[in-house]
Chains A and B, each alone.
Chain A
Amino acid sequence: MRISSKMGYGAFTNNLSRLTEAQYFDTLRQSTGKDIQSIAEAPTRLMDVKKIINQKTMKENFIERNSYATSEMRAAEDAASAISEAMQQIKDLSVQSLNVAYDGNVASVGTFIKGILTDMIRNANADFNGKYMFAGTKTTPNSIQGDYPDMNNMPFELVEGEATADNPSGLSVVFKGNTDDRTINKDGHSTEVISMNPAELFGPGATSFFDPIIKVYNILQYTSEGVPRDSYDTMNTEEKYAIGQEQSVVAYNIDYLNKTTANLSARRLRIETVNDQMTEEITRLNEIKSLNEDADMSKVLSRLAQENTSLQYTLSAGAKIQEFSLFKFI
């Protein structure tokens, strides 16, 4: 083949251009650790990586949110346990007041029970990160409005109304939230209720569990004529019977509340199980993503070394193009 002077320069320029381009992209691979540096390189892998990243990010977000939700559920469980313990305490005090050997002040037991009831209300109004946990979907103070101007903006309130024959203390618990469930998407396909329904926690109307407690309080605090008891004023048989009846209702309610709490725990465990599954899936997705996206450093580095060597020789060869020509000798 006849070789013209220009041919050598053309081949030199083209090789130089290819080598520097290859070197540029391999340097980028080395510095970023990513194999795909341009959309034109590997369309199928690029699409796969995008889908994997999307799935991975989605799962990571679900895990994060689920963790937050389970924290809230744990807080709700703790508050419910505290309420359950308070009810148990009330029940125990009720039973204690029936004890024939009991010679204490009946009215003071009633006062003690009222204090515990107030604690129960405080726990029922518990919030998590500023959000009421047992008010259904009325989670903020602004969304909670009492019937009376002097009522507070909390979901549960112990109010003292007009005394009646049935309720000489006039005490009642008012619920200002609603009984709607709060639901989250726990993964891409399913939802989970993360709230404890107040109607399940405190019975129908979200207040009925307080009624036997108030009744016990009334019996302990007032005589059957509705008059406040004096010190060492003892209960009659009918009152004791009534206390016995109400404490058994409280006992039943405690069981019910505990079941509701257990149900919440079960839901929390389901979310945690989903989180564990998603964590494993993320590990697998990371592996697939890495296979598709990450640069094989040993290959990149050995290629870079080859490219450097080639470039040196190309440059050296380029400098020698036409170095020797007959013109040099004539």
Chain B
Amino acid sequence: MSTFSTLEIGKRALQASNFALDVTSNNVANATTEGYSRRVAQQSQSNPFNKYGYQLGTGVDIDSMRSFRQEYLDREVRKANANLASYEADVNFYSNVETILQEPTDNNLGQLFNDLLTAFDDLALQPESIGLRENLITNTQTFVERLNNASSDLQAMRAQANTDLTNEIHEANEYISQIVNYNKAISISKDKSHNDSLTFMDKREVAIEALSKLGNITVTYEDTGLANVFMNGINVVTGATGQTLKVVESNNQETGESNLSVVVYNEKKDYTVPVNPTSGKIAASQKQYNILLDPVDTSGAFSIMKTLDTYANTIADKINSIFATGYGINDTAGDPPGRVMFVSNTGEPITAGNIRVSDDMKNAADMPLSGTANTPGNSDVARAISRIMQDGFFLNGQTPSEFYSNFIGHISNDAQAAVAAKKSSQLVVESLNSTRDSVMGVNMDEEAINLIKYQKNLEAAAKIIAINSQVLSTIVNLGK
């Protein structure tokens, strides 16, 4: 041990305090930074030397810098994130559907159809009234336009789901790329415990969490610090290599059904592997496109679009078939002219999207409301149509009103389930985030104390050097 050893101890103390002050300042600076885990400088005694048979300390060393990230909490947050994201997407979806179907208002489609049937009942009383016939045509036109609008809005939502999915996949690929890049940065770390890569690890975790909102993922960590990410069990990040997710549309020629799948290519890129996450925003968009808004869905699950089309088709079919047996005011003899009320715009089977009022209805007098020719006061057809309101076999063993109520009820139940699930998921996420924040978040009071502590240490270390300098001066002056 030389004369300068105290100076050395002072220098180490100065360096250690300075480092600790830097770490503390960094904590304060990043107190609200997303994904930041607080750090502490790990100090330890430096190796001693023997003097007079005693071990004499040589000061302080900076051992490492540790963060307070906990893998278990990260994993749970990721899982909860995926659930919350899909429920949030569901809630938004049902909120839009609610607007499109104008629920819960008295101006809904079911009510409009009831108004239409009521107009037929009015005509059953005065079938010869041209005014009431005109009114019926107006009601019919309103009902058809509402069906068309609802269908077109739902189709727009389906197109939006397609766009959303494409954007989400693009976003997911960005995150995958970021994770790969952070993995690469971490892989060149010199520290075996990767304490020199804490910033990259935090940033990687932010990217992983963002990815977890898009789809259900699991993450495994290698000893080298690299993270492997699996979406719905399919490997999308392996160390420094990432897969590219793609949206693939498949069309069934037989049913006309089109579905969107999320895939990755296999290693040789000769075939695709389906990923199709089961939760997260991607799963929500896929469910919207492939099932809820698919007019020809064959999955057997509840499809809003398909149900609406079936409703429109059944209405048209029931009314048209009764209409075909009737006579208009000016039909004086012969067989019924076979007029219909609804036709398809496209020539395909009638749906909510293509339904329109037939040209047969252009002239109100032609509306076939009588069961016999040249009897304008006969309202057999009008009464038969108004009776549809009580037809217990209208659709699926239900009256039109029951069917529509149950249709909205189904949507309503699903919406309620989504809202409830979103609320509970939100609580889980909040609770997990809170628990995680309590571990890895920055506490300003702690940091203030650390600042004081390390500042005082620094001052003391500086004092050691100053005193040692005086001692050295005294020693140097001894020889004069």
Known: A6-B441, A131-B128. A53 touches B111 (CB 8 A): yes
| Chain A CB within 8 A of B418 CB | yes
Q: Which of A57-65, A106-114, A157-165, A274-282 contacts B (4 or more CB under 8 A)?
A: A57-65
Instruction: Tell me the bound Cα distance from A140 to B330 in angstroms.
Output: 11
B412 touches which of A43, A69, A178, A195 (Cβ 8 Å) = A43
Interface size, B (range): 35 or more
| B451 adjacent to chain A (CB < 8 Å) | yes
Task: Please determine whether B444 and A325 come into contact, CB atoms closer than 8 angstroms.
Answer: yes
Residue numbers in B under 8 Å from A191 (CB-CB): 383
A184-B379 CB under 8 A given contacts A61-B121, A137-B370 = yes
* B438 and A7 within 8 A (CB): yes
Q: Using CB atoms, name the residue of chain B closest to A187.
A: B390
List B residues 431-461 near A (Cβ within 8 Å).
433-434, 437-445, 448-449, 451-452
The verdict on B15 contacting chain A, using a C-beta distance below 8 Å, is no
Given contacts A4-B442, A5-B441, contact A10 B433 (CB under 8 A): yes
List the B side residues contacting A49 at CB < 8 Å. Answer: 104
Given contacts A139-B128, A139-B376, contact A50 B404 (CB under 8 A): yes
CB of B232 within 8 Å of the partner chain:
no
* B94 is an interface residue with CB less than 8 A from chain A: yes
Q: Are B383 and A46 in contact (CB under 8 A)?
A: no
In the complex, the answer to whether A61 meets B118 with C-beta atoms within 8 Å is yes
A36 in contact (CB, < 8 A): yes
**Minimum distance in angstroms from A255 CB to a CB of chain B:** 28
Complex Cα spacing A6 to B28, Å: 12
Asked if B387 CB lies within 8 Å of chain A CBs, one says yes
Give the distance to chain A from B250, nearest Cβ to Cβ, in Å. 32
Overall SS of chain B's interface: helix
CA A142 – CA B31 in complex, angstroms? 89
Q: Is B389 an interface residue (CB 8 A)?
A: yes
Decide: B379 and A180 in contact? CB cutoff 8 A: no
Is B285 interfacial (CB-CB < 8 Å)?
Answer: no
Whether the pair B401, A51 counts as a contact (CB closer than 8 A) is yes
* A116 CA to B370 CA, complexed, in Å: 36
Given contacts A36-B104, A131-B377, contact A325 B98 (CB under 8 A): no
Say if the beta carbon of B148 comes within 8 Å of chain A: no
Minimal beta-carbon separation of A115 from chain B (angstroms): 30
Determine if B405 is an interface residue (Cβ-Cβ < 8 Å).
yes
Which residue, A1, A136, A137, has most C-beta atoms of chain B within 10 A?
A137
User: Is B124 close to A, CB under 8 A?
Assistant: yes
Task: Say if the beta carbon of B374 comes within 8 Å of chain A.
Answer: yes
Q: Is B430 in contact with A136, judged by CB distance below 8 angstroms?
A: no
B442 near A5: Cβ-Cβ < 8 Å: yes
Kindly state whether residue A135 has any CB partner on chain B within 8 Å: yes
- Flag whether B235 is at the interface (Cβ < 8 A): no
Inter-chain contact B114/A57, CB cutoff 8 Å: yes
Q: Is A46 touching B377 in the complex (CB atoms < 8 A)?
A: no
Interface string of A56-78 (1 = CB under 8 A from B): 01100110010011000000000
Cβ of A29 under 8 Å from chain B: no
Q: Smallest CB-CB separation from B94: which chain A residue?
A: A40
B376-398: which have CB < 8 Å to A? 376-379, 383, 386-387, 389-390
Contact of A140 among B376, B387, B405, B409 (CB under 8 A): B376
Other A-B pairs beyond A7-B434, A129-B126, A178-B375, 8, CB < 8 Å: A3-B438, A46-B412, A54-B111, A65-B124, A65-B125, A131-B377, A184-B383, A191-B383
In order of increasing CB-CB distance, the 9 nearest A-B pairs are A4-B441, A139-B377, A326-B448, A40-B415, A43-B412, A137-B377, A137-B375, A137-B378, A47-B409
User: What would 8 A/B residue contacts be, using CB atoms closer than 8 Å?
Assistant: A4-B442, A39-B415, A54-B405, A131-B128, A131-B129, A137-B376, A139-B128, A178-B375
List chain A positions with a Cβ less than 8 A from chain B: 1-7, 9-11, 14, 34, 36-44, 46-47, 49-51, 53-54, 57-58, 61-62, 65, 68-69, 129, 131-132, 135-140, 142-143, 178, 180, 182-185, 188-189, 191, 194-195, 322, 325-327, 330
